[in-house]
Amino acid sequence: MAETRQAKRFFVSGSVQGVGFRYFAKRAADWLGLTGYVRNLDDGRVEIYAVGSRVQLGELRRELERGPLSANVGKVIEEPAELAPKFLERFSIERDA
């Protein structure tokens, strides 16, 4: 039985803008088979909205906590989110908030 898809929103703080974090998150999401988006926020954090199984989302969180070598991840906050039909087909890098 396939695990049902769920959505999570992750907020990553630290030195995570201007260091390739969005591209890192997209590669991780694509590798894990997730859909959703990543974008920079005005307050210096990066937001990741991801849709997938509980296991896939857990793996993504571990990747986000690690981050690319050029980043310094301070904290990852995770929240449940609604399934947004617009983001069920692919994972994209969105314009900054």
Q: In a structure prediction context, what are the per-residue pLDDT tens digits for the chain, which is 97 residues long?
A: 456 899 999 999 999 999 999 999 999 999 999 999 999 999 999 999 999 999 999 999 999 999 999 999 999 999 999 999 999 999 999 987 6
pLDDT at residue 95, as a whole number: 85
CATH code where residue 18 lies: 3.30.70.100
The catalytic position among 5, 27, 39, 40 is 40
Question: Would residue 40 show up in a list of annotated catalytic residues for this protein?
Answer: yes
On whether residue 97 sits in a domain, the answer given is no
On whether residue 64 sits in a domain, the answer given is yes
Domain boundaries, position 31: 6-88
Question: Would residue 72 show up in a list of annotated catalytic residues for this protein?
Answer: no
3-state secondary structure of 58: helix
Q: What distance in Å separates the CA atoms of residue 40 and residue 44, rounded to the nearest whole number?
A: 7
Count of domains for the chain = 1
